[in-house]
Amino acid sequence: MNEVVFSKAEGRIGIIEINSPPVNALSHAVRDGIVRALQTARNDKDVEAIVLICAGRTFIAGADIREFGLPPKAPHLPEVVAALEASPKPVVAAIHGTALGGGFEIALGCHYRVAGVAAKVGLPEVKLGLIPGAGGTQRLPRLIGVEGALQMIMSGNPIAAKKAAEMGAVDHVVLDDLLKETIDFTGKLLDECAPLRRLCDIQIDPGSVPENYYDEFRLANARRMRGYFAPERIISAVQAAVEMNFEDGMRRERELFIECLHSPESIALRHVFFAERKAGKVDGLTKDTPLRDTKSVALIGTGTMGGGIAMNFASKGIPVHMVDVDDAAIERGMAVVRSNYMRGVKKGRMSEAQFDTLMQLFIPTTNYEDLAGVDLVIEAVFENMAVKKDIFRRLDQVCKPGAILASNTSTLDLNEIAAVTSRPQDVVGLHFFSPANIMRLLEIVRGAETSLEVLATVMGLAKKIGKVGVVSGVCHGFIGNRMLEGYIREAGLMLLEGAKPEQIDRVLYEFGMPMGPIAMGDLAGIDVGAKVREERRRKGTFPADERFGLVADKLVAMGRCGQKTGAGVYRYEEGSRAAIPDPEVQTLIQNEAARLGISQRHLSDEEILTRCIYPLINEGAKILDEGIAQRASDIDIVWINGYGFPPYRGGPMHYADHVGPGKIYEQICRYRDTLGNEFGYWESAPLLEKLASDRRKFADL
């Protein structure tokens, strides 16, 4: 016993209770406490069996991730699990909340597992770039078979108690009082002289694994595994469970776990885990910041974006007014919503009845007066300041006091929008990413006058609808799109300098992006960027650089707007998304380069990568310096969840730390000298220069 693990007895049953908030992670104190409590129960002659249970919101949620960088301290987790398994008195795990990672491995070391009906079990280590390291890869296949175990470990997703029971991972599911029912279950085991079920004693029949199973598994999971380090090691560890005896399998698991633990991928993914949680902590907000109701929502603009946004709320049972200029426009938006939800029905994710209930939550209207009682209004019309101002003026007139007025603008000045209302404190930016019902990122734009109450409310709301909310200050493009500019610009310039579109896309794809910048432009529609450039040229805020966006602008003028028109930079066959390089575009690029006096050359993959990624990091440093982002890790979360930056690289700022800010600074200076800096493209961020000279990292800020 110690300060986080407690023992008591109820008759012949000893109870070990772990109470280490917030999630009973397996810190040294918890591990040590379990071993000591087990010894106490073992020595107590009156105790015949043991129940292991947790206090608070959950069963053990895993190893203590914060201890991963520290020197290991005995007892190590595999030893704790082994001690439970070796107990001569039956040990039963009583699971509520989530038994995850090392927590589930502890449960697997117990002889039986009882779970509350709402509980979940899982091995999410893969999401941290790890493999289960306390016997999970050896015991789970012995318990539920190789195929089920490999699926579960590779996906990292937790499984609900009932399903876990069907798979054999849990022995009994209880509806009410977990402790009482587990004690009853354990009592019955004693009465029936049930054997101690030690998973380490089970030998897996190699014949139970289908021929070529691992190769087929690799093939089926190739997309998910791309670029990741842990998955291949998970397969090896599970294979060891079949091909080796338990002790050797455990040794193999340990070696592979340690390899993963020190891999840059795992370091990056652990950074992402904590970064995501930090993003929720916003300057000025406390637990006591009052929250407003968000029981009803309205969407102004029911296009693809508005429809996607609305689905987030309806899916959580929140009614949504769908407002547009006429019934036809609303109907177009509703058709998108219907077809998206219908896909869920067809895939068996929801029933027809659930579909009908969901659809009833949408309230179409063309009348702003209907919004008088709504708690939150989100404007999602196209990017035009005059139109948005007009909408906010009307909202100011009809909405009740205290209603939150949000804009989904991706670039425009939120303060200017807020200024047309009599309540700028209630105005906030909610920048969703397309497709809005799927993408996890929600950039929350904090205007100069946005109140803390409003900010706290929308942060909470983001979590409720399953988004990760990141706060951004006001600037052109906010965090994400502002950084995107340099990335896209350089890709376009390199086309003129001689890089082929497919080379640029391959380099960024191999870096881990879901697709390269050129293919992404074709997917999103290159006319979108062309319009933004045109608007900025008109306003005089665009660099006077003819090369910037030139190829895209020429293609748009030819009616080649991307996939939607069958051609952009690439060509697309009818009904296919496969990008086909187009000689016609190559000729156009060569002609334009010649006209501008750019002599085309071979560009190395390294140059392509650094010219796309380093401007992005440089802009991130400026954003940080200006206080637009609260912390470097917030920028990482934006880029991972909004733009597909590979999570195993930890986001652009973590990647910068990995490469070294000094090295990036030097390369930016080299590009300034070799490529020229007439338009300020290679002006190093002062913060980057400072980190380089202090030999510090973004994580040190």
Region binding ligand 3HC by CB under 6 A among candidate stretches 127-135, 486-494, 543-551, 640-648 = 127-135
In whole angstroms, give the CA distance from residue 532 to residue 538.
Answer: 10
The nearer residue to ligand 3HC, 420 or 699, going by C-beta atoms, is 699
E strands, 227-366, are: 297-300, 320-323, 362-365
Residue 258 in tokens: 């340690």
Near ligand 3HC by CB under 6 A: residue from 90, 101, 492, 529: 101
Q: Residue written as tokens 């028109």? A: 565
88 binds ligand 3HC (CB under 6 A): no
If one asks whether residue 23 binds ligand 3HC (CB under 6 A), the answer comes out as yes
Q: Tell me which amino acid residue 418 is.
A: A
From the CB of 229, what's the least distance to ligand 3HC, in Å?
A: 15
Q: Is 607 in the site for ligand 3HC (CB under 6 A)?
A: no
CA gap 430, 443 in Å, rounded: 6
| CA dihedral angle for residue 28, residue 280, residue 647, residue 270, rounded to 10 degrees | -10
Asked if 277 interacts with ligand 3HC (CB under 6 A), we say yes
In sequence order, the 6+-apart residues with CB closer than 8 A to the CB of 383 are 409, 410, 411, 412, 532, 535
- Told to check if 480 binds ligand 3HC by CB under 6 A, we report no
Identify whether 192 is a catalytic site residue. Answer: no
Q: Which of residues 48, 64, 426, 490 is near ligand 3HC by CB under 6 A?
A: 64
Name residues whose C-beta falls within 8 Å of residue 79's C-beta, 6 or more positions apart in sequence: 35
CB of 212 to ligand 3HC, least distance (A): 28
The pairing of beta strand 297-300 with beta strand 120-122: unpaired
CA angle 267–268–272, rounded 5-degree value? 120
Question: Would you count residue 60 as binding ligand 3HC (CB under 6 A)?
Answer: no
Among 90, 132, 308, 562, binds ligand 3HC (CB under 6 A): 132
125 makes contact with ligand 3HC (CB under 6 A)? yes
Binding of ligand 3HC by 474 (CB under 6 A): no
Quick check: 637 binds ligand 3HC (CB under 6 A)?
no
- Check binding of 102 to ligand 3HC (CB under 6 A): yes
Contacting residue, 14, 33, 62, 447, with ligand 3HC by CB under 6 A: 62
Nearer to ligand 3HC, 135 or 517 (CB): 135
**Measured torsion, CA atoms of residues 469, 471, 475, 477, in degrees rounded to the nearest 10:** -20
Burial 424-448 (b: 16+ CB within 10 A, else e): bebbbbbbbbeebbebebbbbbbbe
# residues near ligand 3HC by CB under 6 A: 25
**Which residues are CB-neighbours of 596 under 8 A, at least 6 positions away?**
496, 546, 547, 550
- The least CB distance from residue 273 to ligand 3HC, in Å, is 7
Q: Tell me, yes or no, if 546 is annotated catalytic.
A: no
Counting DSSP H helices and E strands in the chain, the numbers are 29, 17
Which of 105, 253, 443, 490 is catalytic? The answer is: 105
Q: 15, 34, 91, 100: which one contacts ligand 3HC (CB under 6 A)?
A: 100
Residues whose CB falls within 8 Å of the CB of residue 155, separated by 6 or more in sequence, listed in order: 126
**Among 93-101, 106-114, 444-452, 645-653, the segment contacting ligand 3HC (CB under 6 A):** 93-101
Would you please indicate which residues are annotated as catalytic (active-site) residues? Answer: 105, 125
Instruction: Summarize as ranges the residues that interact with ligand 3HC (CB under 6 A).
Output: 22-23, 25, 58, 61-66, 77, 98, 100-102, 105, 124-125, 128, 130, 132-134, 136, 277
